[in-house]
Structure 1
Amino acid sequence: MKTENKIKLFLVDDDALFLKGLSIEFKSSADFEIETYATGELCIQNLSHNPDVIVLDYQLDGINPNAINGIQTLDKIKAYDSDIPVIMLSSQDKIDVAINCMHHRAFDYVVKSETAFLRLQKIITTIFGYKKMEKELNWYMSKM
């Protein structure tokens, strides 16, 4: 997390309405610094802003049919920094899509629905719980 205790969250989705709604939900519910992107290319160009978490749409071809998809974007994010947790988001409720995302090292997979925001909140809380435990474990291990 950042020094001002805000979680820097990238939201990447080509559905402008869903993206705006998700951004509003996160801004109103917790202390997030949010950057939104309509394409994977824009997200990748801004990785130097050091996001703590990225929520990434699986499709990403609504604006430009030739745009890179979510899996390609995920692979580029992981090549840039394998420690950035990426939560994949999709309207496709198919197990093979979820498995593919996890195979490409997504932290989790969420289906777009009425409960998507609540699931994302829980997952982000889990991510930072893991990071805190990892930090404490590393501190204890350094004392041995």
Structure 2
Amino acid sequence: MGSNKKITLFLVDDDALFLKSLEIDFMQLNEYAVKTFATGELCLENMATSPDVIILDYHLNGIDKAAMNGLQTLDRIKSIDPDIPIIMLSAQDKIEVAVNCMHHKASDYVVKSETAFIRMQKIITALLKLNKIQKELNWYMDRM
């Protein structure tokens, strides 16, 4: 990114090892301010800090069955801020799961794999460019 402002990124996953690995990967790029959460509830408690992008695991209740799952968390986040880009992340490669996430207004869906990190980087870049263009368009349309 051209500016000095870091992209505030929320990573939400109940798999502690995967979450830490993802955090390290993003922190090494030096353009992200990363915050990690093991549950959807913790993520929601921190929404006031206005993240730029959220990467959200589909199965957040794998360890704690009483915890919110990824779709419930996605719905709650979208009710707070409908414009925030959310990338759903899952080990499931079933098309029905991806389609369901998109119906719940996820920005994209990534299957956990060796190439997931690279794919997420590209998606974040594209989503932020799209948001910038949308804001500029809205600014011009408001003046007409």
TM-score by length of 1: 0.93
Offset from partner CA, 1:70-96 (integer Å, 9 cap, x none) = 000000000111011110000000000
For residue 80 of structure 1, what is the aligned residue in structure 2?
80
Cα deviation, residue 4, structure 1: 5.2
The 3-state SS of whatever aligns with 1:14 is coil
Instruction: State the AA in 1 paired with 2:122.
Output: K
Once residues 62 and 50 of structure 1 are traced to their aligned partners in structure 2, the CA distance between those partners, rounded to angstroms, is 26
1:116 aligns with 2:124: no
1:29 aligns with 2:9: no
For residue 9 of structure 2, what is the aligned residue in structure 1?
9
The 3-state SS of whatever aligns with 1:65 is coil
Once residues 8 and 62 of structure 2 are traced to their aligned partners in structure 1, the CA distance between those partners, rounded to angstroms, is 25
Cα deviation, residue 143, structure 1: 4.4
Cα deviation, residue 136, structure 1: 2.4
For these two proteins, the number of residue pairs brought into alignment is 143
Same amino acid, percent of matched pairs = 63
The 3-state SS of whatever aligns with 2:20 is helix
Structure 2 regions of 5+ residues with no counterpart? none
For residue 56 of structure 2, what is the aligned residue in structure 1?
56
Structure 1 regions of 5+ residues with no counterpart? none
RMSD value, Cα: 1.6
Once residues 30 and 142 of structure 2 are traced to their aligned partners in structure 1, the CA distance between those partners, rounded to angstroms, is 33
Instruction: State the AA in 1 paired with 2:95.
Output: I
Cα deviation, residue 10, structure 1: 0.3
**Larger deviation: 106-115 or 133-142?**
133-142
Once residues 47 and 136 of structure 2 are traced to their aligned partners in structure 1, the CA distance between those partners, rounded to angstroms, is 27
